[in-house]
A and B are shown apart, each in its own frame.
Chain A
Amino acid sequence: MPKFIVHFVHFHTDFRRAELEALSRLEGVAVECDEQTGGDDSPFLVVEVASAEAAARLVRRGILVRSIAEYWGSGATYDEVFAEVRRRPERWAEHAQRSFRFTVEAFGRTLTQAEKVAVIESFSFLGLEGPIRMHGAETEFLVCEEHGDPPVRNGPKRVWFGRVVGRGSRHLIDRFDVKKRRYLGNTTMDAELSLIMANQALARPGALVYDPFVGTGSFLLTCAHFGAHTVGSDIDGRQIRGTAGFRRGVDGLQANLAQYQLAGRVVGTAVFDICHHPWRPGPLFDAIVTDPPYGVRAGAKRLGRREGSAPRPGRSPDCYPPTVPYEMSDVIRDLLDFATDKLVVGGRLVYWLPTVADEYEPADVPQHPALRLVANSEQPFGGWSRRLITMEKTAQAAGSAADSAAPAHRNFRDRYFAGFERKDPTY
Chain B
Amino acid sequence: MRLITHNMLKCHVKNCSDPDKQFPLRFKGTAGAEEVKLEQIEAERNDEFLVRMLPRLEWGALAITAGELNIPLPDKVPSDPAADDGFLQALHTAILEMHVLEGTMFCNGCGHEYKITKGIPNMLLGEHEI
Contact = CB atoms under 8 A, between A and B. Distances in A.
A13 to B, nearest CB: 35
Contacts of B8: 279-280, 284
B15 to A, nearest CB: 13
A284 B54 CA distance: 11
Given A264-B44, A284-B56, A271 B123 contact: yes
A273 B124 contact: yes
A271 B121 contact: yes
Interface in A362-377: none
Interface stretch (A14-22, A31-39, A235-243): A235-243
Chain A interface size, as a band, is 35 or more
Interface in B49-108: 49, 52-53, 56, 58, 96
A190 to B, nearest CB: 26
B124 A321 contact: yes
A207 B51 CA distance: 11
Contacts of A264: 42-44, 96
A280 B9 contact: yes
B119 A280 contact: no
A208 B42 CA distance: 19
Contacts of B127: 303-305, 311, 321-322
Contacts of B36: none
A270 B56 contact: no
A269 interface: yes
B9 A279 contact: yes
A91 interface: no
Interface in B103-130: 118-127, 130
B1 A270 contact: yes
B41 A278 contact: no
A314 interface: no
A139 to B, nearest CB: 36
Given A208-B53, A240-B120, A267-B96, A278 B9 contact: yes
B23 interface: yes
A235 B58 CA distance: 26
B120 A241 contact: yes
A280 B58 contact: yes
A205 interface: yes
Contact of B121 (A229, A270, A276): A270
Contacts of A322: 127
Interface in A298-329: 303-305, 311, 320-322
Contacts of A130: none
A322 B1 CA distance: 26
A264 B40 CA distance: 12
B12 A276 contact: yes
Nearest to A305: B127
A278 B1 contact: no
Contacts of B58: 280
Given A235-B124, A321-B124, A268 B5 contact: yes
A263 B97 CA distance: 10
B58 to A, nearest CB: 7
Contact of A268 (B1, B10, B48, B124): B1
A308 to B, nearest CB: 14
Contacts of B130: 276, 303-304, 321
A279 B8 CA distance: 6
Given A280-B23, A283-B56, A272 B123 contact: yes
A263 B43 contact: yes
Nearest to B44: A264
B5 A241 contact: no
A268 B2 contact: yes
Contact of B2 (A241, A267, A283, A284): A267
A276 B125 contact: yes
Contact of B48 (A205, A237, A241, A284): A205
Interface string A21-43: 00000000000000000000000
A227 B2 CA distance: 18
Contact of B122 (A237, A303, A311): A237
10 contacts: A205-B48, A229-B49, A235-B124, A241-B118, A264-B44, A265-B43, A272-B125, A278-B12, A280-B10, A303-B125
Closest 9 CB pairs of A and B: A264-B43, A272-B123, A206-B48, A278-B12, A268-B5, A280-B10, A271-B122, A278-B9, A270-B121
Interface of A: 205-208, 227, 229, 231, 233, 235, 237, 240-241, 263-265, 267-273, 276-280, 282-284, 303-305, 311, 320-322
Given A231-B5, A282-B56, 20 more contacts: A205-B46, A205-B49, A206-B46, A207-B49, A227-B46, A229-B49, A237-B120, A240-B120, A241-B120, A264-B42, A267-B5, A268-B120, A277-B12, A279-B8, A279-B9, A280-B9, A280-B10, A304-B127, A321-B127, A322-B127
